[in-house]
């Protein structure tokens, strides 16, 4: 754990590029120093890019701030670990209770009746294939990043029925230690039609108490304590099915360090404001939330039709104040 907090004002007084580095594709970090105007010399922050085959990460000394995993062998790309700049790990990868959960990720539940969500425990594969076709990454000296992916969805050994262009922007950490991820996916139907389905709700035929989930998702660290979900009205003790423009999960780790993740739903998304799937089960433990665009019903799109989805995920050390949330919302809703 990094012991000094990243909550002082950072001034980019000196961006010192180190020349002659080996290719960071082999896992060697590219380092650039950030000198603080207010901190003591021993409190200098050192951020670095680290890239290896199938991953891109932002480092704070030896601590991963975030890592994006896009190995084609994995199928579904994801962020893990996702942390605060000071090292509080926020996400969980492949927990025993749901080994197909991958930190911050996107997955459809059913496409034309095939399951693209759960994975066979022996093979690690879903019924339907999520295939990464191409990935482009671009890192900036101020430590923001852009990632573009082309992803295909298809039955095994068959042509794509759905194509996705995904654009991800990760902001540079701010002086208060917060940063955000903007995520935009454009899906194009390639088959005659695609039926987007999910597990039925309890009041539907063959319904389940856990029905309604699909799409952009966050599985949080199993070791968190005092986990609270808070909607745009500031309400807590929220049940699955709550409708809100955004949802914040606040939690403490074993060292009682407070952190939070806020996910924003975009006004242009289908069914906005979406209903949220929320799980806070400390006995399992199981902490998960998702703005589920299919919560109320299935959806069918014909060949050539497109579906565009946009989300913002805000990482904050401590509890985000109402002003920060509102500023993020004001900026994001116009993107």
Domains contained in the chain, CATH given: 79-332 (2.70.98)
Element containing residue 129 per DSSP (H, E) = strand 128-139
Phi, psi of 60 (to 5 degrees): -120, 100
- Sequence-distant (6+) residues with CB within 8 A of 23 are none
pLDDT of residue 145: 98
pLDDT of residue 46: 87
Q: Which long-range contacts (CB under 8 A, 24 or more apart) does 246-251 make?
A: 246/325, 246/329, 247/276, 247/278, 247/289, 247/291, 248/320, 248/325, 249/218, 249/220, 249/287, 249/289, 250/226, 250/319, 251/220, 251/221, 251/224, 251/225, 251/226, 251/227, 251/287
Comparison of pLDDT for 12 and 222, the residue scoring more: 222
pLDDT-based confidence at 237, cuts 50/70/90? confident
Q: What is the DSSP letter of 200?
A: P
Distance CA 70, CA 132 (A): 8
Distance CA 243, CA 169 (A): 26
- CA distance from start to end of the chain: 35
Using the predicted structure, report yes or no on whether residue 124 has a pLDDT greater than 70: yes
Distance CA 53, CA 177 (A): 28
pLDDT of residue 187: 99
Mean pLDDT value of segment 276-293? 97
pLDDT of residue 11: 34
Tokens 């180190």 sit on residue: 18
Element containing residue 311 per DSSP (H, E) = strand 306-317
pLDDT of residue 188: 99
Put the strands of the sheet holding 162-170 in their side by side order.
128-139, 145-155, 162-170, 179-189, 306-317, 258-265, 246-252, 225-231
Q: What is the DSSP letter of 102?
A: B
User: Which residue, among 69, 105, 89, 132, has the nearest Cα to 311 in the 3D structure?
Assistant: 105
pLDDT digit string, tens, across residues 148-196: 999 999 999 999 999 999 999 999 999 999 999 999 999 999 999 999 9
pLDDT digit string, tens, across residues 30-63: 444 333 332 323 333 689 999 999 999 999 999 9
- Residues in the chain, overall count: 335
Residue 284: CB atoms within 10 Å:
13
Would you say 68 and 80 are in contact if contact means Cβ atoms under 8 Å apart? no
Query: Which of 20-29, 37-46, 306-315 has maximum average pLDDT?
Result: 306-315
Using the predicted structure, report yes or no on whether residue 204 has a pLDDT greater than 90: yes
Residue 26: CB atoms within 10 Å:
9
Mean pLDDT value of segment 220-235? 97
Percent of the chain with pLDDT over 70: 87
User: Which residue, among 135, 197, 212, 207, has the nearest Cα to 162 in the 3D structure?
Assistant: 197
Using the predicted structure, report yes or no on whether residue 21 has a pLDDT greater than 90: no
Comparison of pLDDT for 10 and 114, the residue scoring more: 114
pLDDT of residue 44: 37
What is the rounded average pLDDT for all residues in the chain?
Answer: 88
Distance CA 279, CA 273 (A): 19
Residue 184: exposure state from Cβ atoms within 10 A (0-12, 13-18, ≥19): middle
Using the predicted structure, report yes or no on whether residue 28 has a pLDDT greater than 80: no
pLDDT digit string, tens, across residues 211-226: 999 999 999 999 999 9
pLDDT-based confidence at 26, cuts 50/70/90? very low
- Sequence-distant (6+) residues with CB within 8 A of 301 are 189, 193, 194, 196, 307
Residue 19: exposure state from Cβ atoms within 10 A (0-12, 13-18, ≥19): exposed
Using the predicted structure, report yes or no on whether residue 257 has a pLDDT greater than 60: yes
pLDDT digit string, tens, across residues 78-101: 999 999 999 999 999 999 999 999
pTM equals: 0.88
Mean pLDDT value of segment 266-285? 97
pLDDT of residue 45: 64
Mean pLDDT value of segment 270-293? 97
User: Which residue, among 56, 258, 14, 213, has the nearest Cα to 146 in the 3D structure?
Assistant: 56
């Amino acid at each position: 754990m990094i012991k000094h907090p990243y909550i002082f004002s950072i001034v980019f007084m000196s961006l010192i590029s180190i020349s002659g580095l080996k290719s960071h594709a082999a896992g060697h970090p590219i380092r650039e120093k950030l000198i603080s105007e207010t901190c003591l010399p021993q409190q200098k922050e050192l951020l670095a890019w680290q890239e290896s085959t199938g991953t891109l990460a932002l480092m704070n000394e030896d601590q991963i701030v975030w890592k994006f995993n896009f190995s084609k062998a994995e199928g579904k790309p994801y962020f893990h670990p996702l942390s605060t700049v000071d090292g509080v790990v926020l996400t969980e990868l492949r927990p025993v209770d749901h080994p197909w959960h991958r930190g911050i990720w996107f997955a459809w539940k059913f496409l034309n009746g095939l399951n693209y969500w759960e994975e066979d425990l022996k093979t690690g594969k879903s019924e339907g294939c999520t295939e990464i076709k191409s990935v482009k990454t671009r890192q900036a000296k101020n430590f923001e990043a852009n990632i573009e992916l082309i992803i295909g969805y298809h039955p095994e050994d068959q042509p794509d029925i759905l194509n996705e262009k995904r654009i991800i922007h990760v902001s540079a950490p701010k002086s208060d230690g917060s940063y955000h991820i903007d995520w935009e996916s454009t899906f194009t139907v390639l088959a005659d039609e695609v039926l987007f389905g999910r597990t039925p709700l309890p009041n539907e035929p063959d319904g389940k108490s856990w029905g309604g989930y699909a799409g952009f998702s966050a599985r949080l660290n199993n070791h968190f304590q005092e986990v609270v979900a808070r909607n745009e009205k500031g309400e807590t003790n929220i049940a699955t099915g709550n409708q809100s423009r955004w949802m914040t999960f606040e939690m403490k780790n074993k060292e009682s360090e407070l952190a939070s993740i806020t996910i924003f739903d975009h006004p242009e998304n289908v069914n906005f404001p979406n209903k949220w799937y929320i799980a806070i089960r400390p006995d399992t433990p199981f902490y998960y939330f998702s703005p589920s665009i299919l919560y109320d019903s299935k959806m069918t799109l014909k060949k050539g039709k497109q579906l565009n989805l946009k989300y913002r995920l805000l990482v904050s050390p401590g509890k985000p104040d109402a002003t920060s949330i509102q500023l993020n919302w004001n900026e994001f809703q116009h993107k």
